[in-house]
Amino acid sequence: MDPVKVREMVFNSVAGLAGVSPASITDVTNLESLGLDSSDAVVLAMEVEELTGLEIEVGLFLRCATVAEAAAEITAIAGRGAATSAKE
């Protein structure tokens, strides 16, 4: 999965949920600063799962310090999934 596309998807999902422009989110923006909480993390995980087909744990959005860090972790999950699929 293309890291740039994953980043864009995560930024857009976060922006939509927070009611802000994706352009207002930077690499250092955190979910809390956007007013998002654990309930929103559940929504984000479900949305990302739907968009990517990956299994995303809710804790990912709670433990990542920034939106960019969450996007990087999702890219890593996608990479692990592709590696697993290639081995099968």
Question: For the domain that residue 48 is a member of, what is the CATH number?
Answer: 1.10.1200.10
- CB distance 78 to 54 below 8 Å: yes
pLDDT at 54: 92
Residue 88 has pLDDT above 50, yes or no: no
- When pLDDT is cut at 50, 70 and 90, the band that residue 13 belongs to is very high
Of 64, 9, 8, 57, give the one whose Cα is nearest residue 32: 64
> What's the domain count of the chain?
1
The residue range of the domain holding 7 is 3-18+26-83
Q: Taking a C-beta distance cutoff of 8 angstroms, is the pair 15, 40 a contact?
A: no
In the chain, beta strands by DSSP E? none
Whether 88 maps to a domain, the answer reads no
What Cα–Cα distance (Å) separates residue 79 from each residue in 13, 15, 47, 55?
20, 25, 19, 13
pLDDT greater than 70 at residue 81: no
Nearest to 14, CA basis, from 60, 53, 79: 60
pLDDT, mean of residues 35-60: 93
